[in-house]
Every structure is written in C-alpha cells, then in structure tokens.
Amino acid sequence: MSDFVTLVEYLTTSPENPNFHSDTLVIAGNSLPYLIISAAKFCERVSEIRRVVFVGGIGHGTAPLIRNCQKSYPELVRADWQQLSEAEITQEIFSHYCLRELTLLLEKDSTNTGENARFSYELLKQDLPQRFWLVQDPLVQKRSHLTFSHEWQLPLSAIYPLFFEQPQLINFNRQPLFKNPQMDTWWTADYFLSLVLGEIRRLNDDENGYGPKGANFIPHVAVPEKVLASYQRCKKHLLGINRI
C-alpha cells in the first residue's frame, strides 16, 4: 500500500451510524460539485430534513469549485460567480437539484474551517440543532468534524459526516488515481497534495498542529504512527506548494 493510500484512507474513514437522524444539514464550503449535487438529491429524498445551511465565504476552495463546475456542469455556471461566496454558489447548485421546500440559510463570511464552525453556530444559535449532518470535502472531513464538535460543544456522535462515497486511492504518481475513476479529476495534483499533507499536519497534536499542544482549535487526536510515518515520507512532495 502506498503512503498516499494510507493517508487518504485515514482522512476519509469515519464511523457509520445508520440510525442517525436530524432535520438539519450543513454544507461547508468545498470545491466539489459532486458533493453538493449528492447532498441536494439526499435532501430531496430524506423528508425529515427541513433546514439546510450553506457555509463559506471566498476561500481557497472557491476558484477550484468554479473550475470544477465549468468542467463538469458548465450549464450551471454564471459569469458573476467570481464575485460570489462559496455559500451562494453552493446554494445555486443545490437548488437546481433539490426542488423540495426547505429552509435555506447562508453564512457568507467564513474563510476557513474554524470560521465555518463558529459563524454557522452564531447564525443558528437562536434555534440550535442538537444533531446535524455535515457535508465537506472528504479529505477535510475528519478535521471539520472535530472542529464543529469543538466549536459547537457537541459530542462527535451528534454530527454525522456525509460524503456519499469514500474515496479509495489506488496510487499517486503526478496525479491521484482512484478506484472510482470519476474522482481522478476532483483535485488537481497540487491541491490534492496541499489538502492531504496539510490535513495530517493540522490533525497531529504537536506545536505545528491544531490540537491542544499547538493552536488549540481541535481536541487531541492520536494520529496512528503508521500514518505519521507515511506523512514524513510524503512531505518531500510539498516543495513549491503554497497552501499547506
């Protein structure tokens, strides 16, 4: 198994709970129209969902989201998307595929995962759900789950990460290759590297991470030694990449 396979499997594995229920779904800003469309179809099908919250300003995922839409769903793209927040773009895509009457709320100012969690909490604090579904890029989902739990003061079990299909990496050689070939174009090579390696750095609880020993944005995470060893061997790929 390649080191990148180990890292992706760790980042995208989360506990399953077939009995989870909530009337609220939160979609955090991300670059993957497939996730947004899948969330829309999920909400169309699951009648207990009554409220959808779109979270995200203009951040690192905005330009990749627009590019991915231009590539795969050009009929949805409008010229003024360059001036819109991720929340606004996501809501437009979502509403094209989910026609059921729902309460739609937008948080348009957050530019990182911590703000996603804090600002959405402020938006909903007058009617705060005690459980909710969370949609996020699967490579960022583990940290997003921890961050929302930390900021909302909810147990992890009260938030259900939902990304519809777990990415199964086959190999990384200049470009990520997945068991589902449709995922091969979800992330450019540089963006894939910055997400995967950046997430391991943030999750690892040391002075460079986001845990109590570092920035204290998330609770302590015991990253397995096997994962940390793979991360150390893969760090060489970060040379010349800005966002880590």
Domain ranges of the chain: 3-9+168-238, 15-161
Please give the CATH architecture assigned to the domain spanning 15-161.
3-Layer(aba) Sandwich (3.40)
The pLDDT assigned to 162 comes to 93
Q: Residues in the chain, how many?
A: 244
pLDDT for position 217: 95
pLDDT at 168: 97
Q: Supply the pLDDT for residue 202.
A: 97
Q: What is the pLDDT of residues 34-91, one digit of tens each?
A: 999 999 999 999 999 999 999 999 988 899 999 999 999 999 999 999 999 999 999 9
- pLDDT < 70 stretches in the chain: 1, 239-244
pLDDT at 158: 98
The owner of tokens 């002075």 is: 207
Q: In the prediction, which pLDDT does 243 show? A: 52
Q: Name the CATH topology of 3-9+168-238.
A: YdcF fold (1.10.3620)
Backbone angles phi, psi at 67, to 5 degrees: -60, -45
The confidence score (pLDDT) of residue 105 equals: 98
